[in-house]
Structure 1
Amino acid sequence: MQTTHHPHKAAALIEQAGPGYRPLTKVVLLALRSDGRVALVRRARHPDRGQLALVGGPLGPAEWLDEAACRGASQTLGIGVGVQDLELSGLLHYRSERGAGRLCSVFATQRWSGEPRNTAPREYSEVVWADPGGPPADCRPLTHAVLNQCVAGTLYSAIAMPAATTAPADGAAAPAAENAAEAHGPGPAWGKTGPFTSSDQTSSARLDTRGTK
């Protein structure tokens, strides 16, 4: 399904905060090479230093989901991606390692300008091209969950991440560590981006899956 881009509304018309469930929304982009491998980034700072994360981060104020995916690609990989080249991959409603409710919108693309490279060296140490059907063991839990969902061709999943059991090595307080991880982000068998390789690997954190492509 190809995404549709809508122009910005005037700031005065943006919906005001009100009652209801308003979790942090994360937007990630799966940049896929012609060999089917996906770009992941290795975190250079705590929390989760040394682990592989998704390209992306929180949705900005007054920002459209597809715009956030393109921004994440530019800021993290130094590549230009047009909204017309994005493919919506899925949605995860998940509980973070410390129980906070989160949403994660996943896009994918095989089209971009420029050569992918690490353009956020303060946050990440390297770009790793991984097999989505068999990702490295040192991926963050959310990274595993997103890749598992996309390989399965599932549109929507409800997931609880494994509970955090250790404090960050630099001694940061647990809530602050979680907020930092969310702020810096992570950043299938469908459509123009081409299929992932099928895999029997499933996330032990998966609680429920509803709806398939």
Structure 2
Amino acid sequence: MPLSPTPRSVIKRGRERAQTDRAQLYAVLDSCLVCHLGIIHDAAPVVLPTGYGREGDTLYLHGSTGSASLMAASRGVPVSVAVTRLDGIVYARSVFHHSMNYSSAVIHGVPAPVTDPEEKLHALRVVTEHLAPGSWTHARQPTRKELAATAVLALSLHDASVKLRSGPPGDDDDDVTGHDGWAGVLPLHHMWGTPESCPLLPDDVPVPPHVTRRSTPSPPPTDPHAAAHR
């Protein structure tokens, strides 16, 4: 299913980097862990970093009910959510053409508060399993008091855009023929480190498989767009 941007989400600057496949939106969201939620609160812009989780075409956001900005977002205020994955720094022959390789997504909409207890538990499970897979069944479930202190928002992915850049520098022809310095890409690969047990744990408690599996290094993914979007 393709993306169908509205006037708010049509990419105008660098439009050749815009993506139209909804699967690419899912891929960006599923590969990142932190989003930035932007709203207007008390006549001023506010941008909040927060964890999230995706299920289908719904993005779940959560936070404290004591957060004035999050509570404002639950009362029908339009929001914008941005997610970015940095893949490398592009060193060009000119400073002007230095850039970054990245994948990014921006979602616009009015989030709906999730208030039904079962729906809220489900949404929190989606968020938990995105951030820390395997933890929902391993850790203690939320209490009624903890659920009451947690706000959950559901944001539709209908109005969204995806943009990416990959590949080598896009230098001017004169710089390519007239500059002897190095140009290229310094890739950035994301990987987990070695799990560090809580110091309050007994020494004989092993790291569970759902954590060790995630910390096992894996080769960086091959970028199918490596020759495009310069």
By the TM > 0.5 criterion, same fold? Answer: no
User: Radius of gyration: which is bigger?
Assistant: 2
> What TM-score comes out, normalization by structure 2 length?
0.25
Q: More helix per residue: 1 or 2?
A: 2
> What TM-score comes out, normalization by structure 1 length?
0.26
